[in-house]
Amino acid sequence: MSTTGTLHTPSQVADRRAKAPHSSMFARMLLRAAVLRRRRAAAALLAMVVAAAVATAMMNLYVDVQAKLRTEFRNYGANIIVVGKDGQSLSLPADALTKVESATSPGAKALAVAFSYAVARTKDGQSVVVVGTDFTRARQLNHWWKVSHWPDGQNQALIGMRAANVVSPNRQPFELTFQGKAIELTPAGMLQTGAGEDSRIYLDQSQFQNWTGVAPSTIEVAVNGTAAEVETSVRQLAQLLPSADVRPVRQIMEGEANVLNKTRATLYASATLVVLTSALCVLATLMGWVFDRRRDFAIMKALGASERLVNGFFAAEAAAMGAVGAILGFFIGIGVAVWIGRANFHAPVVPRFSVFPYVLAGSVAVALISAILPIIMLRRVQPAIILRGE
């Protein structure tokens, strides 16, 4: 306290100001301008924050929505199918499923389900296709299966709607024979898909194998990822299982690519429009803010400030505003993106901090442009005219 007290005589103040680094005056002018015109500065900053928030939310969504939609598309079921080479009735090697799982599981969220098929006969001699599978996995893979009740016990079977009319119209237990071996089954539930599954009877894999001795002949795999990642998985699986035929399910792959590309393009166009509009908003506000300060501009020039200093001052002010707006807006924008992810996809959006540099650079650039335009206009005017209030 005592030292500051001694610094109050005019000569000492002048001395201190002269010795003080040039930058402190610069910083003070920046700060004082914002503090003295709080409302105008707040309005300009608010525009910056909102624009940065909207831009952040859009960029976050653009990156994240594709992953979100891909997860939705996996509800369409398997996108890779593995069958025995040369004729589908051929069995796959016994370790095929474990191999498929080892190839796809690390990192990638993949789901593999094995199916084995046999044609059995009912009591009255009708042929019916019986399938052995793992019910827990089939349920995860084929979300669209409409099942009244999943089997959970011995000798329970899941019966397709159309098969039910033939083998067990009144839901009574029924008998099937395969190569002379008979089995007694109880219908646990009905299966409805509108496709081939409706004509089949599904059994638990181990029970099916005990009865028929037929090993799995088809593995359906759902790999979550981009088209290129799925292609890689197909190649890996083909290398791992030389005796099997591995192919992508084109119907699913092409449908997904088509819808995803269109959605991405629309989202891209929309996000660009929204970001441009936000930039326009910043431009309008900031130009007003700088133009409004033409008196400061004139005084600085009248007091002998160089062109470079004045330009630098206004540019620094705009850049500072842009940076502060970008930081605040970024966090608000992340919040908005997370909310949209929750509301629309019922899944959290992972904040992408990688977009921050773009938001920051964009905000500062727009702020600089909005400062430079009015300065160029003002430069042509004599300071005296501005100070006279014309």
Residues in 33-92 at the binding interface with other proteins, rule: CB under 8 A: 40, 43, 47, 50-51, 54, 57-58, 61, 65, 68-69, 72-73, 75-77, 83, 88-89
In the complex with other proteins, which residue's Cβ is closer, 287 or 359?
Answer: 287
* Interaction of residue 142 with other proteins, rule CB under 8 A: yes
* Interaction of residue 292 with other proteins, rule CB under 8 A: yes
Q: Which of 278, 298, 329, 356 binds other proteins (CB under 8 A)?
A: 278
Binding to other proteins (CB under 8 A) within 340-359 occurs at 340, 343-345
Least Å distance, CB 353 to other proteins, is 21
Radius of gyration of the chain (CA): 35
Going residue by residue from 158 to 197, which x/- string records binding to other proteins, judged by CB under 8 A? Answer: ----xx--x-------------------------xxxxx-
Buried b (16+ CB within 10 A) or exposed e, 273-309: eebeebbebbbebbbbbbbebbebbbebbeeeeeeee
* Interaction of residue 318 with other proteins, rule CB under 8 A: no
In the complex with other proteins, which residue's Cβ is closer, 188 or 201?
Answer: 201
Judge whether 88 and 216 are in contact, CB under 8 Å: no
Question: In the chain, at which residue ranges do the beta strands (DSSP E only) sit?
Answer: 80-84, 110-122, 127-133, 146-147, 156-160, 174-178, 181-192, 200-204, 218-223, 244-248
In the complex with other proteins, which residue's Cβ is closer, 65 or 112?
Answer: 65
The H or E element spanning position 214 is none
Stretch that binds other proteins, among 24-32, 138-146, 171-179, 225-233 (CB under 8 A): 138-146
Q: Which of 14, 31, 119, 302 binds other proteins (CB under 8 A)?
A: 119
Stretch that binds other proteins, among 10-18, 104-112, 221-229, 288-296 (CB under 8 A): 288-296
Least Å distance, CB 262 to other proteins, is 5
Judge whether 220 and 77 are in contact, CB under 8 Å: yes
Integer CA distances (angstroms), 91 to 83, 99, 147, in order:
8, 15, 28
Binding to other proteins (CB under 8 A) within 257-276 occurs at 258-259, 262-263, 265-267, 269-271, 273-274, 276
Stretch that binds other proteins, among 12-20, 282-290, 311-319, 324-332 (CB under 8 A): 282-290
Q: Which of 12, 42, 144, 213 binds other proteins (CB under 8 A)?
A: 144
Cα 70-72-76 angle, rounded to 5 deg:
100
Number of residues in contact with other proteins, rule: CB under 8 A? 81
Judge whether 186 and 216 are in contact, CB under 8 Å: no
Complete DSSP assignment for 235-297: HHHHHH-TTEEEEE-HHHHHHHHHHHHHHHHHHHHHHHHHHHHHHHHHHHHHHHHHHTTHHHH
Q: Which of 102, 239, 251, 382 binds other proteins (CB under 8 A)?
A: 251
